[in-house]
Amino acid sequence: MAWKIHAWSPATGSGSIASDHAGPLPFDVNANVRQVADFVVGEPVDPWFEGEPPNLSVLRIQPQKRRQPPDTDWPTFAAANRFGEAIVQPVNADVLEFWVGDCCQRCTPDAVRVRFENVYNIRRPQAGEELDLDDPYFRLAAAEEILQAHIDVPDGYCAFCIATSSYQCERANLYIVARTALVVST
């Protein structure tokens, strides 16, 4: 069942959620475990409940998509960021490509490929962190991420990030340093 923000008050940190089949159900500031200050009515969320239908109460709520650092959206990636799954498609040592769609190629006839060319470096998640390519978000790497992860970005190259839906840790993001990134139709 898809849950969305039904009402939101930034002043109190509380609101309500609803789905097509249930709600609205109120939640308070204690359920907002990520301390999200900018929920938007209609935004998809992941709630945790206590009780059994129809007597549910919201224990915890978080956005389905993790908030990203400012100024990291890149219009080139917009077509890829509307899908929920990415699959690595190695091409050669200098090119890394991802099939991006929903479920599989049969289910997603309008899938795209995100292609990184002249790849200089790939920073995978740290040891003990799993790479989760469900619900990926392709974007530019933020300057502070580049510094914190000690990512070398030579002149003429750009640092890109595939942010995952994982709230476990930002170390689960994948960083790619390449000269070019493009999105092509399949």
3-state helix, strand, coil in the chain (%, to 5): 10, 45, 45
Backbone angles phi, psi at 77, to 5 degrees: -85, -5
Tens digits of per-residue pLDDT, 13-54?
999 999 888 879 999 999 988 788 889 999 888 899 998 888
With a threshold of 0.85, does the pTM exceed it? no
pLDDT at 102: 81
Question: Which tokens sit at 29?
Answer: 């500031």
- For the chain, the structural domain boundaries read 3-63, 75-185
